[in-house]
C-alpha cells in the first residue's frame, strides 16, 4: 500500500489561474493606458491604436512601459512560478505513526501523531451528499484536516482505506 499522495494539479491551481489572469489583464490595461498617456492619444475602439501599441511594445518597450509596473509584474510572475514548483512537489505522507505534508525531505506542516486516542470524523459538504470531502483527525492535543477534493478518486479511496486500517 502506498504511503505518499500527491494533490491533483487541476484542483489545486484553480484559484491561482484566476489571479494570474486578473494580474495579466490589469497589467495590460495599465500599460495600454500608460502608452496612451505618453503618446498623448485619446481612447477609441480603433484597431490601429492597438496595433500601434503592440508594435511599440515590441520595438522599444522601455519607452512605452512603466518600469515600476514591470517590476511588480515580474515579481508576481516569479511568485506564481515558485508557488507552482513548490506545490508540484507537495505530498501527503501517511505512515503507521504519523501524518504530515512534505516537500521532498522537508516537512511543511505539523506532524500529526496517530495513536489509540485518535478520532476520525468524516465531513460531507453539503451534508446530504453521499461523498466524503473532508477527513478530520483529532486526538487530545492536535487536529489535522485532509481535504479529499485535492486528490484524484483512486487516491481518495486509498487514503480512506489507509486511515481505517490505522
- Any idea which residue has 484553480 for its cell? 14
- Three-state DSSP class for residue 57: helix
Tens-digit pLDDT profile for residues 53-88: 777 766 666 565 666 666 777 777 777 778 777 777
Question: In the chain, what are the domain boundaries?
Answer: 9-87, 96-165
pLDDT at 118: 83
pTM of the model as a whole: 0.53
pLDDT digit string, tens, across residues 33-42: 777 777 777 7
**Segments in the chain forming alpha helices (H):** 9-12, 14-38, 47-59, 61-64, 67-88, 153-165
Rounded Cα gap, residues 38 and 67, in angstroms: 13
Amino acid at each position: 500500500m502506498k504511503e505518499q499522495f500527491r494533490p491533483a494539479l487541476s484542483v489545486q491551481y484553480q484559484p491561482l489561474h484566476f489571479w494570474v489572469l486578473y494580474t495579466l489583464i490589469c497589467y495590460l490595461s495599465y500599460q495600454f493606458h500608460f502608452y496612451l498617456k505618453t503618446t498623448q492619444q485619446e481612447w477609441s475602439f480603433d484597431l490601429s491604436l492597438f496595433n500601434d501599441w503592440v508594435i511599440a511594445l515590441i520595438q522599444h518597450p522601455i519607452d512605452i512601459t512603466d518600469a515600476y509596473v514591470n517590476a511588480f509584474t515580474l515579481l508576481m510572475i516569479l511568485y506564481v512560478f515558485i508557488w507552482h514548483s513548490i506545490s508540484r512537489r507537495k505530498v501527503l505522507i501517511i505512515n503507521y505513526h504519523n501524518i504530515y505534508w512534505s516537500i521532498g525531505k522537508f516537512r511543511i506542516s505539523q506532524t500529526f501523531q496517530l495513536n489509540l486516542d485518535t478520532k476520525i470524523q468524516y465531513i460531507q459538504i453539503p451534508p446530504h451528499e453521499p461523498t466524503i470531502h473532508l477527513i478530520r483527525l483529532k486526538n487530545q492535543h492536535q487536529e489535522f484536516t485532509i481535504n479529499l477534493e485535492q486528490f484524484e478518486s483512486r487516491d481518495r479511496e486509498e487514503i480512506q482505506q489507509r486511515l481505517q486500517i490505522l
